[in-house]
Chains A and B, each alone.
Chain A
């Protein structure tokens, strides 16, 4: 067991013939992900990376019964690609694309909610169930199968933490990169609940950032509904207030959005907080 995906999940790659799509679809296939089809309008009927290419997601789903899709489509066209996936009956949709206008994201999110589609992202690295399957761009070689569930707003910082845990003998059940945009699909709380219910997951690592209120809501949930041990790290301790740090989501608004304040709230909820990403493994050795 793990959450969201396993070795049987059938995945479609939207934008498979593009540069990023090709590179990461290949890496997904090499990792063992069941990539059953690619979609590039106008290129239907071709084969790419040994996978059939279709003109539309609908055709790809009809031919392969895929339930998951990953989107490597430029920001201008991500809205259309995501709605297409939802309309075609995809149930797990991961949007890797960075720079999607926030109104488009909000609209995709609403359609996804109405159609019971789990949306991950946008502007995210995707997810991986080590040893089974990955959707997106998390480097597979740094992950080991194990018992730690990871949920993060960051991409590269998540890799950092995964690798550090792997080296120290803490494998992962599933790692989910939620994405750094202010409006996004699934959040901390959905993942915390799934990890709580997943027998393979024994502890959870939550990686947050300055800005937004997701970490505070997660802290509230942990207090009442999560029995597994949670470790937390918040990036952006040196960020000056009012400045946007890369992610549209990572901007400090007043006291509540600062890293320091978030760390305090997590600690109060019984979450073990660390000052550097490298400290998580050490704390885990002490506690688990």
Chain B
């Protein structure tokens, strides 16, 4: 997900009208902003990657004289585990009507899906429950070239007419093209606003990019949000091509494949302990990834390490070499249990045994063992 302000910058560049806005990190002069806006009342919105900013008091309409104090009070404040580091100052808009509008790449149909509702500005899931007839859904082929005429019916259903209808179909077209061109899996505008002077404006932005397509969009991949969405350790892992999620248990795990990595976490819980992390080195991991993973865990506060591989595209000799290299470089002070089967497992086990390390071939007894060791058994 992108920060609202990053999403709005993309909107601006792609023909979706937004209110005038500016990023504020607590050091700039508010006066300059007031002059630029030509208004001395504006919205101050903390930028965060989790929802619920309004309820948390992180969005407020303020006057120029109140702004400084309010902004200083929200900068650094924790919102769902992350400190607020950026505030967006925005020109307030006079609202006549609020709508909901989104374009998403729908997992179920494998097509683009537009969702729209004349009941915007509120939780859309609530609208779906209470007023299911007031959410309009329209599927589109993933190969479609969006053109304004395709959205005329939708615009009319939402209540747009004459020149607001044209504005709407243009905005809808631009939004759809943006989703396609930027590999976005979701663009949500809630609310989309009809102003007193009949302008249609995006008052919020929720934009999600497909991380698999980062290589096509280095501009988006390098945005602050894409770095902030991960913890430092998660970011370090991602840079190394490892998928790592911090959990709050005792035993660090290293595994290959998302399913097996999850099942490994589950198994630790089943035997009465808990996973300190999820770590999937991915398919075809080489020695350096294994080494990197062990480095991450050994510098982290885990009570034990459980390495569990059922190698398919990965090779057990690579895993074993990675473990040996890492144990030479980093001091591993906690108990470690290794389970290794699959492609080239005989070679892998030989490499470990040469270095005095035994490996299990079944995951249940191996998981049981690491739990015992961590709990102080022999």
Contact = CB atoms under 8 A, between A and B. Distances in A.
Contact of B110 (A163, A183, A276): A183
Categorize the interface residue count of chain B: 35 or more
Interface string B298-330: 000000000001111100000000000000000
A237 B258 contact: no
Contact of A236 (B141, B185, B266, B309): B266
Interface residues of A, number: 60
B247 A103 contact: no
Contacts of B274: 238
A153 B259 contact: yes
Nearest to B249: A238
Contact of B216 (A101, A102, A138): A101
Contacts of B255: 156
A34 to B, nearest CB: 21
A103 B183 contact: yes
Contacts of B262: 157, 209-210, 235-239, 245-246, 250
A171 B111 CA distance: 38
Contact of B245 (A27, A125, A243): A243
B105 interface: yes
Contacts of A31: none
Contacts of B44: none
Contacts of A52: none
Contacts of B341: 163
Interface string A99-131: 111110111011000000000000001000000
B107 A246 contact: no
A119 B310 CA distance: 25
Contact of A160 (B105, B211, B263, B268): B263
Which residue, of B269, B278, B313, has the highest number of chain A Cβ atoms within 10 A?
B313
A137 B267 contact: no
A235 B283 contact: no
Interface string A61-94: 0000000000000011000000000000000000
B142 A76 contact: no
B110 A246 contact: no
A125 B312 contact: yes
A110 B141 CA distance: 8
B105 A247 contact: no
Contact of B107 (A107, A212, A245): A212
B128 to A, nearest CB: 12
A277 interface: yes
Contact of B210 (A96, A102, A259): A102
B190 interface: no
Interface string B254-297: 01111111110111111000110010101110000000000000
Chain A, interface SS category: loop
Nearest to A277: B263
Contact of B260 (A105, A142, A154): A154
Contacts of B260: 154-157, 159-160, 235
A106 B263 CA distance: 28
Nearest to B182: A103
Contacts of B216: 101
Contacts of B275: 238
B355 to A, nearest CB: 24
A108 B362 CA distance: 38
Contacts of A154: 257-260, 263
Contact of A109 (B110, B282, B313, B362): B110
Nearest to B241: A99
Interface in B176-218: 180, 183, 185, 210-213, 215-216
Nearest to A250: B258
A20 B283 CA distance: 10
Given A213-B108, A245-B278, 19 more contacts: A20-B284, A24-B313, A102-B183, A102-B210, A103-B142, A106-B110, A109-B110, A154-B259, A156-B342, A160-B363, A210-B262, A236-B265, A240-B245, A240-B247, A244-B245, A247-B259, A276-B364, A277-B263, A277-B363
Interface of B: 105, 107-108, 110-111, 141-143, 180, 183, 185, 210-213, 215-216, 243, 245, 247, 249, 255-263, 265-270, 274-275, 278, 280, 282-284, 309-313, 341-343, 362-364
Interface of A: 20, 24, 27, 75-76, 96, 98-103, 105-107, 109-110, 125, 137-139, 142, 152-160, 163, 180, 182-183, 207, 209-210, 212-213, 233, 235-240, 243-250, 259, 275-278
8 contacts: A98-B282, A103-B105, A156-B255, A159-B312, A183-B105, A238-B262, A238-B266, A243-B278
